[in-house]
Structure 1
Amino acid sequence: MNKRNTRAFAFGVFFSAMIIGIVYLQSNDDSKETANDLVNARSLIEKEGYVILSEAEYNDRIETEAAAKEEKAKEEGHTDNNEPKMAKHALTIETGMLPSDLAKQLLEKNIIEDADKFASYLDEYGYSKKLQVGTFEVNNEMSFKEIAELISK
C-alpha cells in the first residue's frame, strides 16, 4: 500500500466512526423508553389478573401462610408428621461388588433416590476404584459425596 491509499483508508474509518458516534449520541433516550416499558409491563401484568408485590409484602405473606398452616395443624392435633424419617442402613460391601450393585442396595433401603446417578457419581469421581470391603452405617440424609467418602476410605 502506498501513502495515498493508507490516507484514504484512514479517512474512511474516521468518517464511519463519526457517523456511528452521532447516531449513538442522538438515540440515547433509553431512560424514558424504559420507564414507559415498565409502566406498560405493569399494566399488562395486572390486566392478566396477576398481582405485583414488593419483596417485603411477599415475605410477609409467606410468613402469614406458614403461621396459619402451623396454627391449623395445632388445632387439628397434628404434629409435624410430614417430615421424612431418617432411614439408616448397614451397607455391606463384598469383594467384587460393582457400583451399580451398591446403588441398587441403597435405593432399595431408601437411602438414595436415584441408583443410576449414584453409580455414575462413583465412576465419575473415581470412588468406584477405591471401594473398601466391609460394613458401613449410612442414612438418607447423607450426600453422595459423604457416602462415597465413607465407603472408599
Structure 2
Amino acid sequence: MRKRTMRSFAFGLLVSTSLIGTAYYTSPPAAPTETDVEAFLEQHGLVAVAKDEYDKLLNAQSKAPAEQPSKQSVQTVYVYRLVIEKGDTPEAFAKELEAAGIIQSARSFNDYLKQHGLTRSIRPGTYNVRSDMDFAAISRLIARPS
C-alpha cells in the first residue's frame, strides 16, 4: 500500500468512529425495563400501587376520623416466645410472628430483613418478642450484629 492510501484509510476509520461515538453519546437513554424498576423499588424499600388503588387509600384516609389522644389509654403488650431452629427461613418465623399478633405483616418484616441485609445473620435460639417492638428491635434481638 502506498502512503496516501494508508492515510485515507486511517482518516476514514477516524471519521466513522467519531460519527458512531457522537450518535451513541447524543442519543436519549433507553427506557428502564420492568426488571430495572422492580430492582429500584426493592432497593429503596418502595412498593408500586395502581393509581385507582392509591386513590382509594387516600379517600379512606381522609374519611377516617382523627383519633383523639386519651389521657388514660391502655396499650396491651403481647409477649411471644419465638424459637428459631437452625435452617429456619425468615419467612417461616415472620409468619409465626404475624399469626401471634406481634407484627402486622410478615411480608413487611421480610422486606425489612432483606433491605438491611439481615436474612443471613439470623441466629438460632429462643427469644421473647413483644408486640411493642418495631422491626429494628426484633432484628437486633434475633440477628448477629454486623
TM-score, normalised relative to structure 2: 0.48
TM-score, normalised relative to structure 1: 0.46
Structure showing greater Rg = 1
